[in-house]
Amino acid sequence: MLKYILFIVLFFFSSLWSVEENNSTTHPLIKKFDTNKDGKIFYTEASKVLQDDFCQYDINQDGYIDEVEVEALK
């Protein structure tokens, strides 16, 4: 009985996590390069091509490219 209850609880929480993942509005470019999953692309996470012009894309010069700066690339 205890195993059954534990299974139900784990199933419930795992379904919540998957819904959260599906509702994410993170830009695909950030998803691709953000290896530590903090919602930002740091220089060390960027590809070589992105690193070459990183200062140009990091508009506010705070050391990372965030969602707002990615949207400004359009």
What's the whole-model pTM score? 0.63
Could you tell me which residue, 40 or 8, shows the higher pLDDT?
40
Per-residue model confidence as pLDDT tens digits over 32-63: 999 999 999 999 999 999 999 999 999 999 99
How far is residue 22's CA from residue 16's CA, in Å, rounded to a whole number?
Answer: 10
Q: Which residues, at least 6 apart from 36, have a Cβ–Cβ distance to it below 8 Å?
A: 42, 45
Residue type, 5: I
Task: Please state which CATH number belongs to domain 25-74.
Answer: 1.10.238
> Helices in 1-74 by DSSP H: which ranges?
2-22, 28-33, 48-52, 54-57, 67-72
The domain locations on the chain are 25-74
